[in-house]
Amino acid sequence: MHSDDQAFARLMETRMAEIRATDILPEELVTLVEQVLPVQMKARDEAKVKLPDEASCATAEAMFAGSPLIMREHFPHDVDQALGLFPVLLEILAGTGGAAAQAAQTLKKAIAAGELDPAEALRALPAGDDAIFAAWRQRLPESPRALNFLAASALWPGLNAAALALAPRVPENLPHERGHCPLCGSLPYITFLRQKEGLRFGVCSFCGHEHRIRRLCCPYCDEADTSKLKLFRVEEYPGVAVGVCETCSMYVKTLDYRELDKTMLPSLDDMATVALDVLAQGQGYKRPTLSAWGF
Ligand SMILES: [Zn+2]
Ligand SMILES: [Zn+2]
Residue 68 alpha carbon to ligand 1 centre in Å: 9
Ligand nearest to the CA of 68: 1
Residue 260 alpha carbon to ligand 1 centre in Å: 25
> Could you give the 3-state DSSP secondary structure of residue 40?
helix
Asked if 279 and 137 count as a contact pair (C-beta separation under 8 A), the reply is no
Ligand nearest to the CA of 250: 2
Tens-place pLDDT, residues 249-264: 999 999 999 887 677 8
Asked if 212 and 200 count as a contact pair (C-beta separation under 8 A), the reply is yes
Q: Compare 26 and 276 and report the one with higher pLDDT.
A: 276
149/295 Cα distance (integer angstroms): 6
Residue 186 alpha carbon to ligand 1 centre in Å: 5
The C-alpha angle with vertex 13 and arms to 8 and 16, in degrees rounded to 5, equals 120
Asked if 289 and 267 count as a contact pair (C-beta separation under 8 A), the reply is no
Picking from 9, 153, 159, the residue whose alpha carbon sits closest to that of residue 85 is 153
For residue 212, pLDDT beyond 90: yes
pLDDT of residue 78: 98
Confidence tier at 2 by pLDDT (50, 70, 90):
low
**Composition of the chain by helix, strand, coil, percent to 5:** 50, 10, 40
Alpha-carbon torsion, ordered 49, 50, 53, 57, to 10 deg = -50
Tens-place pLDDT, residues 19-29: 998 888 888 88
Work out the mean pLDDT of the chain and round it to a whole number: 93
Residue 289 alpha carbon to ligand 1 centre in Å: 12
Tens-place pLDDT, residues 62-110: 999 999 999 999 999 999 999 999 999 999 999 998 889 999 999 999 9
Phi and psi at residue 194, to the nearest 5°: -150, 170
Ligand nearest to the CA of 292: 1
For residue 35, pLDDT beyond 80: yes
Ligand nearest to the CA of 229: 2
> Could you give the 3-state DSSP secondary structure of residue 257?
helix
186/163 Cα distance (integer angstroms): 12
**Helix (H) or strand (E) segment spanning residue 155:** helix 146-166
Task: Count the Cβ atoms, other than its own, within 10 Å of residue 115.
Answer: 11
Residue 38 alpha carbon to ligand 1 centre in Å: 21
pLDDT of residue 293: 76
Q: pTM of the full predicted structure?
A: 0.94
Burial class (CB in 10 A: 0-12, 13-18, 19+), 153: buried
Confidence tier at 46 by pLDDT (50, 70, 90):
very high
- Least confident range from 6-10, 45-49, 276-280: namely 6-10
Ligand nearest to the CA of 77: 1
Mean pLDDT in residue range 259-271 = 85
Confidence tier at 279 by pLDDT (50, 70, 90):
very high
Ligand nearest to the CA of 185: 1
Tens-place pLDDT, residues 103-138: 999 999 999 999 999 999 999 999 999 999 999 999
The DSSP code sequence of 72-88 is GGG----HHHHHHHHHH
Ligand nearest to the CA of 249: 2
Phi and psi at residue 281, to the nearest 5°: -70, -30
Task: Name, in order, each residue with C-beta under 8 angstroms of 262's C-beta and a sequence gap of 6 or more.
Answer: none
pLDDT of residue 11: 85
Beta strands at 229-233 and 240-245: parallel, antiparallel or unpaired: antiparallel
Tens-place pLDDT, residues 178-197: 999 999 999 999 999 998 88
For residue 242, pLDDT beyond 80: yes
Residue 27 alpha carbon to ligand 1 centre in Å: 30
Residue 23 alpha carbon to ligand 1 centre in Å: 31
Task: Name, in order, each residue with C-beta under 8 angstroms of 167's C-beta and a sequence gap of 6 or more.
Answer: 183, 209
Ligand nearest to the CA of 70: 1
